[in-house]
């Protein structure tokens, strides 16, 4: 794959758990709960319970099926012939109890709570229970919509939802423990994302979907591109997936089995038939027909791509028409303004199903864990390349060229790793913010990727060791449900909201500083923002007397002056200029670069810190008070919790904010937590580092 080498076990053996299920003479199989909600009131909902009822005995049987959901209990008797099965249902027409007048809805992260219910269902013959199962489900409705430009988007419970996600990959040898899967989904929630996209392998167990249900994370499930390209599958390429006619029935049944396995998970919001290409027309018809029967509650997406970047190849199905989504790159580094100024490739319009600013070199701890000491520097040697991607992504060559032009060259690996976190943060934040600012001309974006299958330098918001990169906190700050951001295209300030209710009497504060920390512009204004929208609130295009590198500080407050969101930007009067004429399918080069090299010569500052630790259940919590005692900006401060014995970062770790910058004289309190078990008997120690901190 592009993102890791071949698995050393050559894909041998069972890759998902095997269960042996024991029942009595009758069995309940393929149980499902479907919901239909009143999207106007978001109160009432209707439930349908369905199942396959199997009679294993040699005589016809009268079988009573009992279903319970909280205080609801319903029963019905079915007669099933010997060694036969029937499809049974409980409907709200027959059982009025299945009409809920005050339903607790399942919502996505950032909008509301992901409420879950439990169905207990059993079969019995002559009052002897023969089978019993418990099914967890959520009450919610998924729909798709098409915007005025023909781009597809999705609704949850009748409300448009901007898809803000990243691409999941399982461990290289499918060795992720349930605990590691759990904390990764918690990371997704912590970053304020609402979606995971899976391509190909759909998790090595059902736990991934359980955790997504609990955390309000939508899951986009689909087929792998590896059945579409000869390099991977060894079959001749056509305009369609490389599935042969004699395999259509097997392929359809395989997909159907996965749908039946996962259809009770409210997190799953769409079934994707192909990645880069469409299924052959006859196969698409078979898939649509089969999936439509067993799960009519979710939209089907024929492919994750519409037009190629070169506009030559397009996925327009004879059955379902245009896919309505795009996969036009980039996959390698692009400068922050790309997402705002591009209108042809991967920029902030439509639904970009996989994209991103390329490499995300991890912090120094992870680099030292994955590379031999004698290979730590320079980042162009074979060891570094081995831990990059494949094909066009086998080196950091393009990233290094752009990085050096914008930030200046690093002299050693520690400086490089530290400066890379600045670049990671700066590169990922505007991608999400641009799609948020353009909602719903833009309908969604999936960062390629979320995590890594093994220790590497590419495509990760946190690495294989669970170490967050700068991109992790850039994402967290970009994806707040109510946020303030800088538009690199128009040089303006935007406020955006994912929330389904309006907010009034908000206060915006904007400050602009030169590189020497001199305040050159300050503005405050009061605004209202409607539900689920974004708007420009202030232009900064006419600023004067700026240093080559300068800073913009944005704050958004409630009416009571409590802080909702803050964002801090480092910009340049020497602007990035993209060379779109020479774009490739995976990147767009620059003809000119921003000059951010001044960040390397910032005046040293003194930051006072005080940390207080406390226990809360299975968590260790730290509250850190920071104060910048100087008249200069304290830039890009890294906060860390480390073990007193190993000196290594305790992982996973959940900071409210990190890689923060403090204005002259500013004080802030930041909290974090780790799981007690991850301390492994150590005492947690707080450490602080920064670009211009005086140690």
- Residue 156 maps to a domain: no
CA–CA dist 593, 576 (Å, integer)? 4
Report if residue 673 sits inside a domain.
Answer: yes
Instruction: Identify the domain boundary among 577, 601, 625.
Output: 601
List the Cα angle 489/495/496 in 5-degree steps: 100
Integer Cα distance of 136 and 213 in angstroms? 9
Do 82 and 115 share a domain, yes or no? yes
Instruction: Give residue 351's Cα distance to chain centre.
Output: 14
CATH no. for residue 518? 2.60.40.10
Domain residue limits at 615: 607-689
Token pair of 265 as six digits:
């998970």
Q: How many residues does the chain have?
A: 695
Contacts for 9 with CB less than 8 Å, ≥ 6 apart: 173
Q: Calculate what percentage of the chain has a pLDDT beyond 90.
A: 92
**Is residue 618 domain-shared with residue 647, that is, in the same domain?**
yes
Residue 36 · residue 18 · CB < 8 Å: no
Same domain (yes/no): 644, 578? no
One domain for residues 569 and 504: yes
Are 504 and 519 in a shared domain?
yes
Q: Is residue 1 part of a domain?
A: no
**pTM strictly above 0.85:** yes
Query: What digits encode the pLDDT tens for the residues 91-142?
Result: 999 999 999 999 999 999 999 999 999 999 999 999 999 999 999 999 999 9
Q: What DSSP line would sit under 450-479, residue for residue? A: SS-SSS-SBS-SB-TT--B-HHHHHHHHHT
Q: Does 535 fall in a domain?
A: yes
The CB density around residue 614, as the number of other CB atoms within 10 Å, is 11
Residue in 693, 689, 692, 651 with CA at minimum distance from that of residue 672: 651
Whether 645 contacts 668, CB under 8 Å: no
Number of C-beta neighbours around residue 674 at 10 A: 21
β-strand pairing of 654-655 with 316-317: unpaired
pLDDT band per the 50, 70, 90 thresholds, residue 17:
confident
Q: Is residue 633 part of a domain?
A: yes
Query: How confident is the model at residue 440, as a pLDDT?
Result: 97
Q: Final residue of a domain: which of 91, 116, 137?
A: 137
Is 519 domain-assigned? yes
Angle at 168 between CA 164 and CA 171, to 5 degrees: 160
Q: Is residue 457 part of a domain?
A: no
CA dihedral of residues 286, 291, 294, 298 (deg, nearest 10)? -160
DSSP assignment of 15-34? -S--------SEEEEEEEEE
User: Both 522 and 597 in a single domain?
Assistant: yes
Quote the DSSP letter at residue 279: P
Helix axes 248-262, 281-294, angle to 10 degrees: 30
pLDDT tens sequence across 613-648: 999 999 999 999 999 999 999 999 999 999 999 999
- Whether the CA torsion 88, 93, 94, 97 is positive or negative: it is positive
- Cβ proximity of 34 and 50 under 8 Å: yes
- Could you tell me what percent of the chain has a pLDDT over 70? 100
Taking all residues of the chain, what is their mean pLDDT, rounded to a whole number? Answer: 96
Question: Can you list the positions of beta strands (E) in 71-158?
Answer: 72-80, 84-90, 99-100, 117-125, 128-137, 142-146, 152-156
Backbone angles phi, psi at 324, to 5 degrees: 80, 0
User: Residue 516's pLDDT band (boundaries 50, 70, 90)?
Assistant: very high
pLDDT at position 480 over 80:
yes
Mean pLDDT of 464-474: 98
- Helix (H), strand (E), coil (C) string for 617-635: CCEEEEEEEEEECCCCCEE
Query: Which residues, including other chains, have CB under 8 Å from residue 523's CB and lie 6 or more apart?
Result: 508, 509, 510, 538
Q: Which of 631, 625, 629, 628 is nearest to 613 (CA)?
A: 625
pLDDT in tens, 258-297: 999 999 999 999 999 999 999 999 999 999 999 999 999 9
CA angle 288, 293, 294 (to 5 degrees): 105
One domain, residues 591 and 622 = no
Indicate if 501 and 577 belong to the same structural domain: yes
Tell me the C-alpha distance between 551 and 546, whole Å: 9
| Residue 564 host element (H or E) | strand 563-572
Report the relative pairing of strands 152-156 and 159-161 from DSSP bridges.
antiparallel
Instruction: Indicate the pairing of strand 442-447 with strand 350-355.
Output: parallel
Token digits of residue 320: 């379902």
pLDDT of 231-250, one tens digit each?
A: 888 999 999 999 999 999 99
pLDDT of residue 673: 98
Query: What's the pLDDT score for residue 201?
Result: 61
Residue 652: the pLDDT is: 98
**Local confidence band at 5 (pLDDT 50, 70, 90 cut-offs):** confident
Instruction: Determine how β-strand 300-301 pairs with β-strand 268-272.
Output: parallel
User: Which of 231, 246, 194 shows the shortest CA–CA distance to 215?
Assistant: 194
Please check whether residue 75 lies inside any domain of the structure. yes
Contact call for residues 319 and 283 (beta carbons, < 8 A): no
pLDDT in tens, 393-450: 999 999 999 999 999 999 999 999 999 999 999 999 999 999 999 999 999 999 999 9
CB atoms inside a 10 Å sphere around CB 143: 17
C-alpha 447/C-alpha 360 separation (Å) is 12
Q: What are the tens digits of pLDDT across the range 31-85? A: 999 999 999 999 999 999 999 999 999 999 999 999 999 999 999 999 999 999 9
Residues 593 and 646 in one domain: no
Is there a single domain that holds both residue 510 and residue 525?
yes
Q: Which residues pair with 199 in a beta bridge?
A: 222
> What residues have CB less than 8 Å from 347, skipping those under 6 apart?
338, 339, 340, 341, 434
Do 640 and 554 share a structural domain? Answer: no
> Per the structure block, which two tokens stand in for 130?
């023969």
Beta strand 321-322 with 316-317: parallel, antiparallel or unpaired?
A: antiparallel
Q: Are 365 and 638 in contact (CB under 8 A)?
A: no
582 and 630: one domain?
no
Find, among 108, 90, 97, 17, the residue nearest to 53 by Cα. Answer: 90
Q: What is the number of domains present in the chain?
A: 3
| Domain end position, chosen among 83, 114, 137 | 137
Helix spans in 345-469 (H) = 364-370, 382-386, 397-407, 413-437
């Amino acid at each position: 794959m592009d993102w890791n080498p071949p698995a050393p076990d050559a894909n041998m053996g069972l890759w998902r758990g095997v269960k042996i299920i024991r029942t009595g003479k009758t069995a309940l199989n393929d149980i499902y709960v479907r919901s239909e909600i009143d999207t106007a009131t978001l109160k009432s909902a209707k439930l349908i319970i369905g199942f396959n009822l199997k009679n294993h005995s040699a005589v016809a049987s009268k079988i009573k099926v009992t279903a319970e959901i909280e205080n609801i209990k319903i029963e019905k008797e079915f007669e099933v012939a010997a060694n036969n099965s029937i499809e049974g249902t409980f409907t709200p027409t027959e059982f009025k109890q299945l009409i809920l007048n005050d339903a607790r809805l399942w919502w996505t992260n950032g909008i509301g709570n992901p409420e879950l219910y439990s169905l207990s269902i059993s079969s019995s013959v002559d009052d002897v229970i023969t089978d019993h199962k418990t099914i967890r489900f959520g009450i919610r409705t998924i729909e798709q919509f098409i915007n005025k430009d023909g781009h597809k988007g999705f609704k949850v419970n009748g409300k448009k939802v901007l898809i803000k996600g990243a691409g999941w990959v399982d461990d290289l040898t499918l060795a992720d423990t349930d605990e590691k899967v759990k904390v990764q989904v918690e990371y997704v929630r912590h970053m304020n994302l609402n979606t995971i996209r899976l391509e190909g392998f759909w998790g090595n167990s059902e736990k991934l979907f359980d955790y997504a249900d609990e955390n309000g994370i939508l899951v986009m499930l689909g087929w792998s591109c590896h059945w579409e390209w000869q390099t991977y599958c060894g079959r001749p390429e056509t305009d369609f997936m490389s599935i042969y006619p004699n395999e259509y029935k097997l392929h359809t049944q395989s997909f159907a089995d996965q749908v039946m396995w996962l259809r009770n998970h409210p997190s799953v919001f769409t079934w994707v038939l192909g990645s880069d290409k469409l299924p052959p027309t006859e196969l698409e018809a078979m898939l649509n027909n089969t999936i439509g029967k067993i799960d009519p509650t979710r939209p089907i997406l024929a492919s994750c791509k519409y037009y190629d970047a070169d506009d030559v190849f397009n996925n327009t199905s004879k059955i379902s028409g245009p896919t309505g989504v795009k996969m036009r790159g980039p996959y390698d580094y692009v400068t922050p303004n790309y997402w705002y100024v591009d209108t042809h490739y991967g920029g902030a319009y439509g639904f970009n199903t996989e994209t991103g600013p390329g490499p995300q070199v991890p912090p120094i701890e992870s680099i030292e864990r994955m590379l031999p000491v004698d290979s730590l520097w320079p980042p162009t040697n074979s060891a570094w390349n081995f831990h990059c991607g494949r094909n066009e992504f086998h080196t950091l060559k393009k990233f290094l060229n752009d990085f050096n032009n914008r930030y200046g060259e690093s002299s050693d690996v520690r400086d490089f790793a530290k400066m890379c976190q600045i670049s990671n943060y700066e590169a990922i934040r505007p991608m999400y913010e641009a799609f948020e600012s353009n909602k719903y001309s833009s309908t969604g974006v999936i960062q390629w990727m979320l995590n890594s299958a093994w220790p590497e330098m590419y495509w990760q918001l946190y690495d294989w060791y669970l170490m967050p990169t700068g991109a992790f906190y850039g994402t967290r700050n970009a994806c707040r449900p109510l946020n303030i951001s800088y538009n690199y295209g128009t040089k303006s300030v935007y406020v955006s909201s994912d929330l389904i209710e309006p907010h009034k009497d908000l206060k915006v504060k904007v400050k602009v500083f030169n590189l020497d920390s001199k305040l050159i512009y300050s503005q405050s204004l009061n605004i209202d923002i409607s539900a689920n929208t974004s708007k420009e609130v202030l232009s900064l295009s006419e600023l004067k007397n700026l240093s080559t590198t300068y800073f913009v500080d944005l704050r958004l407050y409630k009416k009571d002056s409590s802080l909702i969101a803050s964002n801090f930007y480092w910009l340049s009067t020497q602007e990035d200029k993209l060379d779109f004429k020479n774009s490739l399918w995976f990147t767009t080069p620059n003809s000119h670069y921003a000059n951010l090299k001044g960040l390397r010569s910032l005046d040293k500052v003194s930051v006072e810190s005080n940390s207080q630790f406390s226990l809360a259940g299975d968590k260790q919590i730290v509250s850190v008070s920071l104060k910048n005692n100087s008249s200069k900006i304290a830039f890009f401060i890294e906060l860390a919790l480390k073990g007193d014995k190993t000196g290594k970062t305790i992982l996973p770790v959940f900071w409210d904010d990190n890689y923060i910058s403090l204005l002259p004289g500013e004080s802030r309190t930041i909290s974090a937590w780790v799981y007690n078990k991850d301390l492994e008997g150590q005492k947690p120690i707080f450490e602080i580092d920064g670009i211009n901190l005086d140690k």
